[in-house]
Amino acid sequence: MQQLIPRPDVDVNLQGFCRPPLVLAILQGDTDTAKLLLARGADLHADALDFTGRTPLACAAECGHTEIVQLLLERSDVDPHRVDSDRLTPLLHAIAADKSDVVMMLLRRGDAVCCSFDLVLHSPAIYCAVLEHPEWLALWPRCDCLGCGYYHLNDPAYVSRPDWKQYVRDYYL
């Protein structure tokens, strides 16, 4: 692969197995090949799978490849908040896959979109609560996701309640 990528007659965005080469490299956790493809102009917004609209960043986040996530986040042409056809952001993909290092990396950036929802109107904060990660909620931006003036999902007094996980499950799911 590393001998083919530098050749000018090789299309680094040619779809194979319904995925572009950059996404195939990311799914394998192959950082070196991902770097080569990016240097050759691989499309950062190419869909990973037919009809899903997942970007390379979403795939890297879901797989937990922190080095590739960091590589992509350092680029100015990557949108860390782009949603796919299921309305999932890269952060939601990482949360749903329980990839703690990636979740923490994305939350520590300080620009998490707290009011994003998937197709069944679950916010990332709800997933954090259900998956029992109060440390993720502690980094969550303070916002009123439901428009009700109450910020209970990232309120320390709320998440310290012994029944907070069950309450979220009962109320939201």
Phi, psi of 25, rounded to the nearest 5 degrees: -65, -40
Name the least confident of 42-56, 91-105, 141-155: 141-155
Return the structure tokens found at 30: 């192959």
Question: 131-141: per-residue pLDDT in tens?
Answer: 777 777 777 66
CB 63 within 8 Å of CB 27: yes
Best CATH choice for the domain 1-112 from the list 3.30.450.20, 2.170.120.20, 1.25.40.20, 3.30.460.80: 1.25.40.20
The answer, yes or no, to whether residue 150 has pLDDT greater than 50, is no
Of residues 126 and 36, the one with the higher pLDDT is 36
Spell out the domain ranges in the chain.
1-112, 114-173
CB 21 within 8 Å of CB 39: no
Question: 72-100: per-residue pLDDT in tens?
Answer: 999 988 888 888 878 788 988 998 898 99
Strand partners, 16: 19
Q: How far apart are CA 136 and CA 16, in angstroms?
A: 36
pTM across the whole model:
0.72
CB 114 within 8 Å of CB 81: no
Confidence of residue 23 (pLDDT cuts 50, 70, 90): confident
Burial code (b: 16+ CB inside 10 Å, e: under 16) for 98-119 equals ebeebbebbbeeeebbbebbbe
